[in-house]
Amino acid sequence: MKLLIVTGLSGAGKSLAVNALEDIGFFCIDNIPAEILPKFIEFSEQSENQIDKLAIVLDIRGAKSSAAINDTLKQLREKKIETKILFLDARDDVLERRYKETRRRHPISLASNVSTSEAIERERKILAPLFEKADYKIDTSLLSTSKLKDRVVSLFVDRSSDAMSLTIMSFGFKYGQPNEADIVFDVRCLPNPFYIPELKSKTGLDSEVSDYVMQFDEAKGLLKRMEELIGYSLPLYVKEGKSQLTIAVGCTGGKHRSITFALLLAEYCKNLGYKPVIEHRDVQRFSI
């Protein structure tokens, strides 16, 4: 049996992630107490109806302390249960806004009658062991429902032949740096197509923009050095056993230079034998 623990901050999108996992064949169970998880796995393995892919939501509702979480993870290791952890996160301000919009209360707020901000702070401390040991981390702060589902599916579908799940993302620094990024490249040093009237409303997905960006020797030199770093480091990450790697390329608004470079780096990684998922986080944002 392959066990996936789905966890993360309340309001970060665990329910959406579970729905996506069910759609690709996972047997999903929500809100199981941490202390009974190892026994439940043992029982499931002895059942006549063998479950190949099991996803269990373990969060603040079923784990009241970091100690309980650490003890559960220790028991799973001792039983040699193959376990991966998917951690869903979001910025505090985004989580607070989501609770206001839905008019729901945070589980810790309900139990201890504290503010939402304090509840989120307590939750982060309790879930710290799961965050530190997570194999996959997704920051949902700026992800739509469809993008979140696509990201989850991309992690667990048709990955049997891949040594590592690789995401290459473009973004705009003006909207914040992606928390899930492992490697961040900054291409704001290059000439900006935004200031060319005929290119301003286009994106790096348009050949006119990519041709403009890559006509400069500085851009070609920068791309070459990025490729050299990626080509050298990716096998090291695979050797180390990393399950997920996110390479983020940022420019000012995330529409021109970053998209151009993200596409070129993705093509380079494909030629190396990887299967990168490409995400343009801020391409549809309105810029002024």
Domain edge (last residue) among 109, 128, 156: 156
- Quick check: is 206 in a domain? yes
- How sure is the predictor about 144, in pLDDT bands with cuts at 50, 70 and 90? confident
Mean pLDDT (the chain) is: 91
| Same domain assignment for residues 119 and 212 | no
| Same domain assignment for residues 58 and 170 | no
> What average pLDDT score do residues 54-81 get?
92
* Predicted pLDDT at 160: 40
| Same domain assignment for residues 184 and 262 | yes
| Same domain assignment for residues 9 and 138 | yes
**pLDDT for residue 14 is more than 60:** yes
- Quick check: is 127 in a domain? yes
Number of structural domains found in the chain: 2
| Same domain assignment for residues 211 and 256 | yes
Instruction: Identify which has the larger pLDDT, 190 or 144.
Output: 190
* Predicted pLDDT at 158: 55
| Same domain assignment for residues 20 and 140 | yes
- Quick check: is 205 in a domain? yes
* Predicted pLDDT at 161: 39
- Quick check: is 29 in a domain? yes
* Predicted pLDDT at 24: 86
Domain edge (last residue) among 123, 156, 189: 156
> What average pLDDT score do residues 31-49 get?
83
Q: pTM surpassing 0.85? A: no
Domain edge (last residue) among 106, 136, 156: 156
Structure tokens at 249: 């390329």
Instruction: Give per-residue pLDDT as tens, 165-185.
Output: 899 999 999 999 998 899 999
- Quick check: is 170 in a domain? yes
Three-point CA angle 261, 163, 77, nearest 5°: 130
CATH assignment at residue 75: 3.40.50.300
- Quick check: is 286 in a domain? no
**pLDDT for residue 159 is more than 80:** no
For 119, the domain range is 2-156
- How sure is the predictor about 25, in pLDDT bands with cuts at 50, 70 and 90? confident
- How sure is the predictor about 243, in pLDDT bands with cuts at 50, 70 and 90? confident
| Same domain assignment for residues 29 and 138 | yes
* Predicted pLDDT at 186: 98
- Quick check: is 257 in a domain? yes
**pLDDT for residue 217 is more than 60:** yes
**pLDDT for residue 135 is more than 90:** yes
| Same domain assignment for residues 55 and 140 | yes
* Predicted pLDDT at 238: 84
Q: How far apart are CA 204 and CA 178, in angstroms?
A: 19
**pLDDT for residue 240 is more than 60:** yes
- Quick check: is 288 in a domain? no
| Same domain assignment for residues 191 and 139 | no
Give me the percent of the chain exceeding a pLDDT of 90: 71
| Same domain assignment for residues 144 and 205 | no
Residue type at 131? F
* Predicted pLDDT at 200: 94
| Same domain assignment for residues 133 and 203 | no
**pLDDT for residue 39 is more than 90:** no
**pLDDT for residue 96 is more than 90:** yes
* Predicted pLDDT at 102: 87
* Predicted pLDDT at 134: 95
> What average pLDDT score do residues 24-46 get?
87
* Predicted pLDDT at 287: 56
> What average pLDDT score do residues 145-154 get?
86
Comparing 13-17, 118-122, 234-238, which segment has the lowest mean pLDDT? Answer: 234-238
| Same domain assignment for residues 9 and 123 | yes
* Predicted pLDDT at 162: 55
Strands 244-251 and 183-186: parallel
